Amino acid sequence: MGYALKRRNGADPLGPWRWVAGGAGALFAYSECVIGLVDKGVAAEAYRSLTWSLVLLPFYAFLLAGLVGAVSRKGWSAVFTPVVAGLLSAWVLAVLTETGVAPFAMLVNWRLALGVLNHFDLILAGLCVAGLALVLAVPRFNRDLARVAAAAVAVYVGYAGYCAYEARSFGEHYAETMGLKDAVVEAVPQPLSPTNWRVVVEDGGHLHDTMVNLRRKTVKVAGDKALKIARVEALYRPLDKAVWRVYSRFGPSDLSAPSRRRVHGAWQAWQDTPYGWYGRYAVFDGFVGVPQVGAGIACVVFMDLRYDGMAHAERGTYVICPGEGGRARVFRPSGPAKGVGQWPGFYELVPLAGTR
């Protein structure tokens, strides 16, 4: 994007510093990962927030331009444009993902996520790499080639956006067919292809979930010896052969009334914390005890349905324990994946009997 904003083709007065300035802007927002080295709880709370905030974006732009300008001795004004291009490119692409960003962090704890792109879209990455390679290979026309690459990215994003519309329409048709009133339909972009989607329909206390490919006509079958990429592709079925799985957000129908109230209470308390957005696809998974939190305290386990059946399902596990003043304490458990993004602490879980 920095090259696309050049005034003319040919020799660049900034030289390699245009790359440095644009890269600094694009990568700056991801500096939030440094927070995780200090406190994992704060890292989870600040995920895609403080360093992505539009409120602070002008400050970041001038700060980075000043630093790069001082180091390169080109002056802040000379590198300001590529810095801003890098910042805005990263921000816009992040907004297009299902994870999104908190655009008004420090003011409002609200997320903007358009759900058009997977968090790491291989095709989009390939287009960006190809565009950068062309700019390097043919410096005489670097501005025009950069604009062509930017246009290709825009066309691809537009197609992905149309696929997102189709996926949501499919979910809405399912909800209408099943008579689900006031249903909320979510389309979650999946890896490998813009035509792969996970569609989730929330109807009161139930989540209806399926994985489809918008263009596929036949079901793919992957054998035991098939490559991982083939096994992943086989998960996505044609629209007319979609298989819907139904999960109960607050537990099975035979759960006792006191236990169901406990699950409801844990869920509501969780949603009132900065970690609430992690639970948008989570369903009840049982009761456990956490000895380090308090003896005899029953905590509620929720599982992100997107991790159901995966090799590392514990990464989608959230433990909600009662805290002071009716507040909730949110944990990720330890275990085989200890050290992989858990917050705010590592605690072993003890299954509790007789809590149904």
Q: Domain limits of the chain?
A: 17-159, 166-248, 257-351
Residue 299 main-chain phi, psi, to 5 deg? -110, 150
By three-state DSSP, how is residue 302 classified? strand
Task: With a cut of 90, say whether residue 248 has pLDDT above it.
Answer: yes
Q: pLDDT: is 231 or 218 the higher one?
A: 218
Q: Hey, what are 66's tokens?
A: 């000043």
For residue 239, give every residue at least 6 positions away whose Cβ sits within 8 Å of its Cβ, in sequence order, or none: 170, 212, 214
Cα–Cα distance for residue pair 14/203, rounded to 1 Å:
55
Residue 208 main-chain phi, psi, to 5 deg? -100, 125
Task: With a cut of 90, say whether residue 185 has pLDDT above it.
Answer: yes
- Nearest partner of 17 among 75, 62, 61, judged by Cα: 75
Which value, in Å, is the radius of gyration of the alpha carbons in the chain? 23
Cα–Cα distance for residue pair 349/346, rounded to 1 Å:
10
Cα–Cα distance for residue pair 211/237, rounded to 1 Å:
7
Which of the residue ranges 11-15, 181-185, 311-315 has the most confident prediction, judged by mean pLDDT?
181-185
199 DSSP β-pair partners? 187, 210
101 DSSP β-pair partners? 112
User: What pLDDT is stored for residue 296 in this prediction?
Assistant: 57
Task: With a cut of 50, say whether residue 217 has pLDDT above it.
Answer: yes
Could you tell me if residue 294 is left (phi over 0), alpha (psi between -120 and 50 degrees) or otherwise beta? left
pLDDT tens digits, residue range 110-128? Answer: 899 999 999 889 999 999 8
- CA torsion through residues 35, 33, 48, 248, sign: negative
Which of the residue ranges 102-111, 155-164, 267-276 has the most confident prediction, judged by mean pLDDT?
155-164
- To 5 degrees, how large is the angle CA 338–CA 343–CA 349? 60
pLDDT tens digits, residue range 285-295? Answer: 988 876 666 55
Q: Do residues 30 and 94 make contact, with C-beta atoms less than 8 angstroms apart?
A: no
Q: pLDDT: is 78 or 109 the higher one?
A: 78
Which residue type occupies 335? G
- CA torsion through residues 176, 180, 181, 183, sign: negative
- Mean pLDDT in the chain? 85
210 DSSP β-pair partners? 199
Task: Identify the band that residue 297 occupies on the pLDDT scale cut at 50, 70 and 90.
Answer: low
Position of tokens 């696309």?
4
For residue 337, give every residue at least 6 positions away whose Cβ sits within 8 Å of its Cβ, in sequence order, or none: 312, 314, 315
Task: With a cut of 80, say whether residue 81 has pLDDT above it.
Answer: yes
